[in-house]
Amino acid sequence: MNVQTRIDPLAKLYAATGPLPPGHPAVKPRRIGVLLTNLGTPDATDYWSMRRYLKEFLWDRRVIEVNRALWWVILNGIILTVRPGKKGKDYDTIWNRERDESPLKTITRSQTEKLQASVAAGLLGPEGVDVRVDWGMRYGNPSVKSALERLQAEGCDRILLVPLYPQYAAATSATACDKAFEALMQMRWQPALRVAPPYADDPDYIAAVADSIGEALSKLDFEPEVIIASFHGVPKEYLLKGDPYHCQCAKTARLIREKLGLSAEKFMLTFQSRFGSAEWLQPYTDETIKGLAAKGVKRLAVVTPGFSADCLETIEEIGGENAEYFHHGGGEKFARIECLNDSPGGIRVIESIVRRELMGWI
């Protein structure tokens, strides 16, 4: 997106010191970079594209914390033989045909463009500061490394990394930092790097999610008997090792529930997407939904406040797989409430985080 260039006052100061000596490399205007990151996406839904994506994702030591030799055998001998085909079919049901990409890639790009437009409108800082916004994925393309290189090439010597995970987990937020730090290790002239913290209890985020739920419910032709707040699960072992994710999810759910004025029975916290045979954070989303249907609940809505953008886990797993569990169990009305995505409320949350974390730079 073309944005009118703003000159950093410090760049003017440098320019005023005098002409550069002969042979000196060109000096770019000093700029500030903002890098939005999310989990990632395969490049396509075919077997080999899915295999590359899953291999990078599932080989991450923070995602799967088991013996590496044993996991190598399981991953390469079993999982990467069977899972790419199955997950490719799942991705195919939600694929953005027009752009030939996953919804997560489409939404993250749009979040970036709209945040850059906020810069142009002067919503993130005063005149005289040039902020460039880019985006990268932890797994797949565009990579975090390529985004950092683009920002540095544009003269960004200060970069704010914004992992778009409201709640911190080693398997999400930390992996984004890992990838950024790996890229910095290969740079001769490293930019200064800040990392935005998780925003599980940020008032703007809580208000935006609550407002989006209210708006979505107002458009339904039924009133849910129960609303489930479903967060991505992690193995229970990670909690016992000190990961704060479970506590932050519980706080987010409580604050949203209180904002909506609902009881704990009406607004329930669950965890989805478990993988393997180990115990994960409970209660499980799928089992909770099956149990509610069995108890006679006929009208249900599910919101996913742990995701900043809709993806396979929200669209297909919640809107497809879990909706099917509910209907097969006797449920009649099911609604999947969309993530904040690139909605005005969602962009205001990102603006608020970026504006706060850039203090002292702008």
Q: Which two tokens stand for residue 139?
A: 């797994």
Q: Which two tokens stand for residue 2?
A: 């073309």
Whether residue 328 is annotated as binding a ligand: the answer is no
25-28 contacts, C-beta under 8 A, 24 or more apart:
28/154, 28/155
Rounded Cα gap, residues 231 and 314, in angstroms: 10
Distance from chain centroid for Cα 325: 26
Alpha helices in the chain (DSSP H): 9-15, 47-58, 68-74, 80-94, 103-120, 144-153, 173-185, 203-218, 236-240, 245-260, 285-294, 312, 323-328, 344-357
Identify whether the C-beta of residue 300 lies closer than 8 Å to the C-beta of residue 292.
Answer: yes
Q: Which two tokens stand for residue 50?
A: 């899915």
Alpha helices in 267-339 (DSSP H): 285-294, 312, 323-328
Whether residue 232 is annotated as binding a ligand: the answer is yes
Rounded Cα gap, residues 22 and 14, in angstroms: 17
What does DSSP say about strands 31-41 and 299-303: parallel, antiparallel, or unpaired?
unpaired
Residues in the chain: 362
Question: What residue numbers does the annotated binding site cover?
Answer: 232, 313
Question: What residue numbers does the annotated binding site for Fe(2+) cover?
Answer: 232, 313
